[in-house]
Amino acid sequence: MTTPLVGCDSAPPGKTIRLKLENLQPIGSFKIRPIANAVLSRSRTELNAGIYTTSSGNSALGLAWMARRLGIGATAVVPANAPQAKLEKLRRLGARIDVRANEVWWRAIEAGVLDDQQGVYIDAVRDSASLAGDATLGVEILEQWPDVEAILIPFGGGGLACGIACAVRALRPAVKIIACELASAHPLQSAFAAGAPTPTAHDAGFVSGVGYGSVLPEMWPLLRAMIDEVLTVSLAQVAQTIRLLAENNRVVAEGAGAISLAAALAAQYSHSRVCAVISGGNIDSGVFAEILGGRTPGGN
């Protein structure tokens, strides 16, 4: 569904920040866009065998939501550290949950298939239909704010950033695309520095869905062509931003969803009018409570 674009009163002097609230999607995340488009691009005969995906949670939620709507089976292959809030939603949607060790799960993402699963694999990042779904977000932002100068986007697998960038390049090529990562988990920044995807030490802390060990090789050519800049923020900055969103805007954001605004508030960019994509709001209640109490989960 179309989500609102709202103002942010906490913008630094000389900056105007607006928030694209994808946390208000039916599954609490932008992932309904790529997953729904990818699923609906398949034939009914294919879908009748069931669908599955590898996900830290939000893609799986999109998968389960679509499967329930279509009356087919869905399996979510998740890492061992998947957030409980997302797992609970998956159970309510009726998905089968298959938990794998983090390293095994990441290898499955890299391969784009699991031999021990039945049905159709839905890739939320590399599938062209998924990218087209992500592109709808870019179109909406330009329609809602024609004067935007830059769009700040959380970086996980790269599908969201590339999808938005494809739409923006076609419609308003002057608008800059800025990917946002953690200072402690920054595969995209490392890839740009090295000129190619490279294994990177990563500690994403309480933030799920970002900061994997390396950029997916299939995504690198598109990322290299489409991303204008990469900004990084600390886990403490992300926690502070989640608290600010809750207190000032009454918006609940998960860690990955708040990275873009954390980078926007740090103002390490030259643009005056920027949009921060709040990509999701599926945060564990215990983590959220800790942050509202003024702490950074896992910090001192």
DSSP string, 194-255: HTS--------TT--S---SS--GGGHHHHHHH--EEEEE-HHHHHHHHHHIIIII-----H
- DSSP 8-state secondary structure symbol assigned to residue 284: -
Q: What is the mean pLDDT of each run of 10 residues along the chain (300 residues)?
A: 95 96 96 97 95 89 95 92 88 92 83 84 93 98 98 95 97 98 95 94 88 89 96 97 96 97 94 97 94 87
pTM greater than 0.85: yes
For 76, the token pair is 């979510």
Residue keyed to tokens 């609490």: 28
For residue 137, give every residue at least 6 positions away whose Cβ sits within 8 Å of its Cβ, in sequence order, or none: 20, 22, 30, 33, 160, 163, 164, 167, 277
For 196, the token pair is 């190619």
